[in-house]
Amino acid sequence: MSTQHPAREFAFDIGPVRVAPATALAPMEGITDKGFRALIRGMGGCGLTVTEFVSSDLMSRNVASAWRLAELPEDEHPVSIQIYGRDPEKMAQAAEYCEQLGADVVDLNLGCPSKAVTSGCSGSALMKEPELARRMFAAVKAAVSIPMTVKMRLGWDTDRLNAPEIAWMAQEEGADMVVVHGRTRMQMYRGSADWAAVRATKARLRIPVQVNGDILTVDDAVAALAASGADGVMVGRGAMRDPWILRKIADHFAGRVPYEPPLMDRRDTLLKYFGMLEAEAQTDRRAVGRMKKVTGYFTRGLPYGTELRETIYHSFTPEAIRDAVHGYFERLQAEGVADGFTRIHEAEVTDHTSGDSRNLTREAECCVQ
Ligand SMILES: Cc1cc2nc3c(=O)[nH]c(=O)nc-3n(C[C@H](O)[C@H](O)[C@H](O)COP(=O)(O)O)c2cc1C
């Protein structure tokens, strides 16, 4: 269990943009849409949100779906739009659009291992082309007045752990913060994130660094910060399992006991999110697909979670999924599992027996990235 931490300022600056608390919701394609970001922000404790990655190429070709990903609600601040591509000019143009769309920060993706992205030689493949990456940093920086950040992995593989060099180069070209996911591109999502390996990047830089990868609990956040020396944490999949995780981390660093939501808050949160998904999805079919996916993440490792997932697998309307979720939570309440969630989550994440990054690999690999 986490121990109480003395209250201290847990914040950092991305240029003029204050990130307080020093927590961020990681960009996740197909997950961190406007609705999900609003949900996590609504929990409190989220210092920064980032959009799903947006193709600079599609933006420059005026493809509506790319623009939709970059839409920002007026009340979402500070928020970063993440862009990817390999043409410095298109990246610069896309960054300008991001500024016009109201982004507080523009983030460049150097971390995505997706074949769809790396075969176009962007994403983490850029870590193998430092000179191209440098030109991209310079072009983007020259195009915008908002801060620029870069998200990367430790390197391409264990022989090329060049995050410190790339991050230093980004800093010299004007980057205001970098995020390092403690895995190499070749690792994809296998093994565990190496938080200590992020320290070499932190040691090279004046600008802040956020550590990312496998942060699922308050204790993980404390350990990741201690091992890496980073200024803040970025959490992705952990927020899908436990939407309160950033709030809990922020509570801890503010010297408060981490918030523990009552059982029915968990149910209501899931149902509220369903509402957002339905409002955003153009068809019931699409809404159902997203509802199934989200419920899968949300109930991973929880009692009777497998049964629920099985039930909703055979559900084809939003109503049927809602009914299944209602029934599930009623059952948990009837059986008095109400307060066991944190214990269950922690038990699950300390079970390393599967050797697969604490049961998260499956989630990551069933997604595009
Ligand atoms: C479904 C999914 C989609 C992702 N999409 C993006 C993305 O669009 N841009 C990006 O930089 N990283 C993306 N990532 C990587 C995450 O931002 C994060 O670096 C990674 O999942 C490790 O952090 P975590 O263990 O906290 O999830 C994605 C990860 C997942 C699981």
pLDDT category, 301, cuts 50, 70, 90? Answer: confident
Instruction: Return the CATH number at 101.
Output: 3.20.20.70
- If you measure from the C-alpha of residue 18 to the centroid of ligand 1, how many angstroms do you get, rounded to a whole number? 23
Residues 216 and 322 in one domain: no
Residues 180 and 324 in one domain: no
pTM for the whole structure: 0.90
* Contact in structure between 238 and 31 (CB atoms under 8 Å): no
Residues 82 and 183 in one domain: yes
Q: How do residues 187-206 score in pLDDT, each as one tens digit?
A: 989 999 999 999 999 999 99
- If you measure from the C-alpha of residue 302 to the centroid of ligand 1, how many angstroms do you get, rounded to a whole number? 23
On whether residue 130 sits in a domain, the answer given is yes
- Averaged pLDDT, 31-38: 92
pLDDT category, 147, cuts 50, 70, 90? Answer: very high
Question: Among 235, 253, 271, which residue terminates a domain?
Answer: 253
On whether residue 334 sits in a domain, the answer given is yes
* Contact in structure between 233 and 45 (CB atoms under 8 Å): no
Question: Among 253, 281, 299, which residue terminates a domain?
Answer: 253
E-assigned strand segments in the chain: 12-14, 17-19, 23-25, 48-50, 54-55, 79-84, 105-110, 148-155, 177-184, 209-212, 232-235
Residues 137 and 267 in one domain: no
119-124's contacts with Cβ under 8 Å and 24+ in sequence apart are 120/86, 121/86, 122/84, 122/85, 122/86, 123/84, 124/152, 124/153, 124/156, 124/185
pLDDT category, 122, cuts 50, 70, 90? Answer: low
Question: Among 203, 224, 253, which residue terminates a domain?
Answer: 253
Q: In the predicted model, is pLDDT for residue 351 greater than 70?
A: no
- If you measure from the C-alpha of residue 333 to the centroid of ligand 1, how many angstroms do you get, rounded to a whole number? 33
| Separation CA 159–CA 194 (nearest Å) | 15
Residues 206 and 302 in one domain: no
Q: How do residues 310-348 score in pLDDT, each as one tens digit?
A: 999 999 999 999 999 999 999 988 888 765 565 555 555
- Reduce the DSSP state of residue 3 to 3 states and report it: coil
On whether residue 243 sits in a domain, the answer given is yes
Ligand 1, pocket-test mutation among 181, 192, 195, most atoms within 8 A of CB: 181
Ligand 1, pocket-test mutation among 189, 237, 366, most atoms within 8 A of CB: 237
On whether residue 343 sits in a domain, the answer given is no
* Contact in structure between 212 and 180 (CB atoms under 8 Å): yes
* Contact in structure between 295 and 325 (CB atoms under 8 Å): yes
Q: Phi, psi (5° rounding) for residue 76? A: -100, 100
Name the active-site residue from 112, 121, 366, 367: 112
Number of domains in the chain: 2
Pocket of ligand 1 (CB under 6 A): 26-31, 52-53, 82, 109, 111-112, 151, 181, 212-215, 235-238, 364, 367, 369
What end-to-end distance do the CA atoms of the chain give, in Å? 31
Residues 228 and 298 in one domain: no
On whether residue 51 sits in a domain, the answer given is yes
Asked if 366 is an active-site residue, the reply is: no
pLDDT category, 62, cuts 50, 70, 90? Answer: very high
Residues 180 and 139 in one domain: yes
